[in-house]
Amino acid sequence: MALWGGRFSSGPDEAFKKFNDSLPFDFLLAEHDIIGSVAWAGALEQVNVLTSDEHTKLVAALFELLDEVKVDLQAVSTSGAEDIHSHVESALIEKVGDLAKKLHTGRSRNDQVATDFRLWCRETADHIHAAIVRLKAELIELAERELGTILPGYTHLQRAQPVLFSHWCMAYVEMLERDETRLADAKKRMNYCPLGSGALAGTAYPIDRHKLAHSLGFTGATRNSLDGVSDRDFVVELLSCASISMVHLSRMAEDLIFYNSGEAGFIELADNVTSGSSLMPQKKNPDALELIRGKTGRVFGAFSAMMMTLKALPLAYNKDMQEDKEGLFDAMPTWLACIHMAQACIKGVKIKGDRTLAAAKGGHANATELADYLVAKGVPFREGHHIVGVLVQLAISENKTLDELSIEQYKSVHDSIEDDVYDVLTIDACIKARQAFGGTSLEQVSNAIKYAIKKQQISVRDANLDDVDSIAKLIQHWATAGENLPRAKSDMVHSINEFAVTEVNGTVRGCASLYIYDTGLAEIRSLGIDPQSGVKGQGRELVEHLLVKAKKLALSRVIVLTRVPDFFEKQGFTYCSKESLPEKVMKDCELCLRKESCDEVSMEYILKPSSRTEIPCKNVA
């Protein structure tokens, strides 16, 4: 039965039902709809719409349903329900009867779907972020492996100047870096929860929307109910990120297709990313790269379609918005698949250094160096440019390279050229000359690779619900060692917004939390690093990240109780007396295994002056 059937004397005809129903595609939101419903059930219990017993039964049934959905998600799409919300409610009624009908109290499908969709987008963005990190790592590894290999650089698809092949690799690392940061920015803006906005005017129940948002791992609640249910900026932003990134992947694919061609012969693609011809046995076609180039249009199309769908839509929710999903559900997996395939192509590529070097030596690619040589001899660049053009014509007429011209031929064009000209015309000299920051010299490219390796090893970000298991494992390890206080996993779920994590090559290896006691005061807690990660600097990155977060929250002071004061001193913390800390801070020490022989010291970081009434801090080192 439709959720809205009471107003109608008859149901929709089959053609309209097929046209209207969204379950054939929004079934992908099943897990997110259930998780959102669990959080909503908790909110309803807090305002006494549900009793404790009713809440327990509903949540148990929802988690049971979640387990079933995880086993066979595709089966959800064939249930015949109008949409995923109808399906979940019907399945819940089968488990707990009429109690399930209380769950929709104060909630609309409008704020429900907006929440579900954000949860899906956030999770998908995390998967894509991890894939971008891995593709960057593959390019950096190729750059390391081929350091010293020389490639002809091109403008207008004409040979221009020689560059290191590693320089080409690092150019795409830079592009992917921008893709990564764009995606991170988009995720920050989407991470606000519309649940509790109702159909458009807000819910009539006294729901604590901020607490509800935090329970789902959101930064906070959306501030306006009209905007909350109708905002699809996060979809547009994701599609924009995807489109720009696909431009980069398509450009890289085009480069590699050209480099792989018989005319260039610079590289050979691995068998696992190529295919053959049904007619011509000799062919080895770069199909993976061509498909990346081709699928770019699909992602662009989804972006364009979404913009057109939103154009001129009035507030608040309109059924047009049902068109927000199919394009994104296609574009995001397409983007992800292209990133994976690009990584596979890079991983298996074989560089033919002798061919790239021979090509770099052809085409008079050292002409710019010859012009710079003349400038060093006092010739104005514009005049030097003309002189080199004449020399290139001379070389072409004799089917020679510039370095094959005799000194007499050089002097016949300009008498300032001496025997030392040949030193600047070698390929190595051309590469070495590009010493400015960002250039293609061996030193500059080596520095770029080292910087990228250092940067890729550790990334720090705010935690999300997908990180709970990793955080729990880290906290349990250090609590067992007596270095941290134990924390229940359920507590981590409810306080996930307090946590930050470090990732090493896409895997969570460290965590810390910023626990706020009252206005202006917070404590860094649960700081722990995986001892097996082998990557230094994670603790520093976490502390810096949480201090930035504390400043954004307008906190005055951050405190820490620690056995490693030297580490925190390096981060700018100073010693203070434990007596200066509020009583509730010290109360938590009752849980500590070392409470009888405590050797922790208290330290603080002042973010801004405050009129504290606590005992002043003093150096107790």
For residue 71, give both structure tokens. Answer: 């086993």
Residue type, position 346, single letter: I
**464/493 Cα distance (integer angstroms):** 9
- Can you tell me the distance from the alpha carbon of 601 to that of 108, in angstroms, rounded to the nearest whole number? 51
Identify the active-site residue in 156, 397, 406, 597: 156
User: Distance (Å, rounded) from C-alpha 162 to C-alpha 171?
Assistant: 15
Which of these is catalytic: 275, 277, 304, 340? Answer: 277
- Adjacent-strand bridge partners of 238: none
What is the number of other CB atoms lying within 10 angstroms of the CB of residue 519?
Answer: 9
Smallest CA-to-CA distance from 317 within 232, 236, 234 is with 232
Taking the mean position of all CA atoms in its chain, how far away is CA 244? Answer: 14
d(CA 421, CA 373): 7
Mapping DSSP to helix (H, G, I), strand (E, B) and coil, where does residue 606 land? strand
Cα 196 to Cα 83, 266, 335: the distances in Å are: 20, 58, 32
Structure token digits, residue 193: 């929860």
Residue 104 a catalytic site member: no
| DSSP H/E element including 568 | helix 565-570
Q: Respond yes or no on whether the N-terminal peptide bond of residue 316 is cis (omega within 30° of 0).
A: yes
Count of other CB atoms within 10 angstroms of residue 263: 7
Per residue in 316-329, is it b (16+ CB within 10 Å) or e — as a string?
A: bbeeebbbbbebbb
Does the active-site annotation cover 533?
Answer: no
Under 8 Å between Cβ of 558 and 498:
no
| Alpha-carbon torsion angle 550, 556, 561, 567, nearest 10 | 60
- Calpha distance 46→193 (Å, rounded): 18
**CA–CA separation, 563 and 527 (whole Å):** 12
Pair 105, 71: CB distance under 8 Å: no
Q: φ and ψ at 144, to 5 degrees?
A: -60, -45
Residue identified by tokens 């400043």 is 551
Cα(251)–Cα(157) distance, rounded to whole angstroms? Answer: 13
Amino acid at 182: R
Distance CA 369, CA 255 (A): 25
Which of these, 147, 114, 291, 135, lies nearest to 216 by C-alpha position? 114
- Catalytic residue list: 156, 277
